[in-house]
Amino acid sequence: MENLIDSYIQFLKIEKGLSNNSIESYAADLKRFNSFCLKYNLKVENMTIDDFVLFFEELQKEKKEDSTIIRYMVSVRGFIKYLVKHKYLSKDPLYFFQLPKMKRGLPHFLSEDETERLLLTPNVSKKSGLRDRVILELLYATGMRVSEVAALRLSQINLQSGFVIVFGKGAKERIVPLGEESVFWLKRYIENNGVRDYLFPGKKNKHITRQFVWKMLKKVAANANIDYVTPHTLRHSFATHMLIRGADLHSVQIMLGHSDISTTEIYTHITKERLREVYQTYHPRAK
């Protein structure tokens, strides 16, 4: 089993071009699946759908979140499909297995005033504060994922034309505009730091990590008296504010790098909720 999992991981890395984060997630899920098989002395070529159900029931007993269990299901089903396609298995035991539909909660986002307060919090007279301001500006101005911002190279940014080339999931490339504010702070940051390769260099000639950005943002949010903010909160805020101000859904989809517009459609629910709040607050006959 371990050799088959290694082959599948290499397939995802080389053929599918998945990001390191996605690769690590698949590897961890399949390692857990392999431990389950060893525990019950199961061989993948002899497994039935009942064996897979038992695995998922074990995860439920461990009090795993529904979203986590569904992620395991996706990882295992992808692995099985790979084994069938490459003739390691003669048939797919999960062919009739249906993934449960996961309820989506509305993404958390900041108001425009909260966003402004957050962006103004870093002390830009210090090098670290200037760096933090630029990271926050990029997260909000472009809607990039935290991993995309952390790994940015100078060569991806065109300050004159005002856009950034983003390499997203599956090495997909997209172009996202930069606003005047983010261009201003980028110029100031680059001039003051002599950036040559990675925009935000870390240790050992590498870029900063996602964890670095999370910790920084947590600290800045506390100083701004904002209770809960993650890098993804700024991505959600970017999309929500764009739609509230009249952007079309397809444009937002392209800038976020969503392959399916249904993923972007969740933000329309947010804007509807926002419109309802405005109506309830200001219309004289709303209540």
Give residue 245's pLDDT.
Answer: 84
232 is catalytic: yes
Instruction: Say yes or no to pLDDT of 128 above 90.
Output: yes
Q: What is the mean pLDDT of residues 157-178?
A: 87
Of the candidates 145, 207, 236, 241, the residue annotated as catalytic is 145
Domain presence at residue 63: yes
Give the range of the structural domain holding residue 63, as residue numbers without chain letter.
2-85
At residue 286, what is the residue type? A
Of the candidates 174, 188, 232, 274, the residue annotated as catalytic is 232
Nearest to 200 by CA among 140, 135, 265, 155: 135
Q: Clarify whether residues 31 and 125 are in a common domain.
A: no
Domain presence at residue 101: no
95 is catalytic: no
The model's confidence at residue 113, banded by pLDDT at 50, 70 and 90, is very high
% of residues, the chain, pLDDT over 90: 46
Q: What is the mean pLDDT of residues 250-261?
A: 87
Instruction: Say yes or no to pLDDT of 283 above 80.
Output: no
Cα separation of 285 and 279, whole Å? 9
Q: Clarify whether residues 262 and 144 are in a common domain.
A: yes
Cβ contacts of 127 within 8 Å, gap of 6 or more: 192, 193
Q: What is the mean pLDDT of residues 72-83?
A: 92
Domain presence at residue 239: yes
Q: Clarify whether residues 134 and 207 are in a common domain.
A: yes
169 is catalytic: yes
Cα separation of 211 and 198, whole Å? 17
Predicted TM-score (pTM) of the model is: 0.66
Model confidence pLDDT, tens digit, residues 212-253:
999 999 999 999 999 889 898 999 999 989 888 888 888 889
Give me the chain's average pLDDT, please.
87
Q: Clarify whether residues 188 and 275 are in a common domain.
A: yes
Cβ atoms 30, 76 nearer than 8 A: yes
Q: Clarify whether residues 65 and 143 are in a common domain.
A: no
Cα separation of 131 and 223, whole Å? 16
Taking CA 229 as the corner, what is the angle to CA 133 and CA 217, rounded to the nearest 5 degrees? Answer: 35
Token pair for 132:
């933090």
Q: Clarify whether residues 81 and 116 are in a common domain.
A: no
Task: Return the number of other C-beta atoms located less than 10 Å from residue 276's C-beta.
Answer: 11
Domain presence at residue 48: yes
Instruction: State the virtual CA torsion across 274, 280, 281, 286 in degrees, nearest 10.
Output: 160
204 is catalytic: no
Q: Clarify whether residues 81 and 161 are in a common domain.
A: no
How far, rounded to the nearest angstrom, does the alpha carbon of residue 285 sit from its chain's CA centroid? 41
Of the candidates 169, 174, 188, 274, the residue annotated as catalytic is 169
Instruction: Say yes or no to pLDDT of 186 above 70.
Output: yes
Total domains present in the chain = 2
The CATH number of residue 205's host domain is 1.10.443.10
Residue carrying structure tokens 């392209």: 254
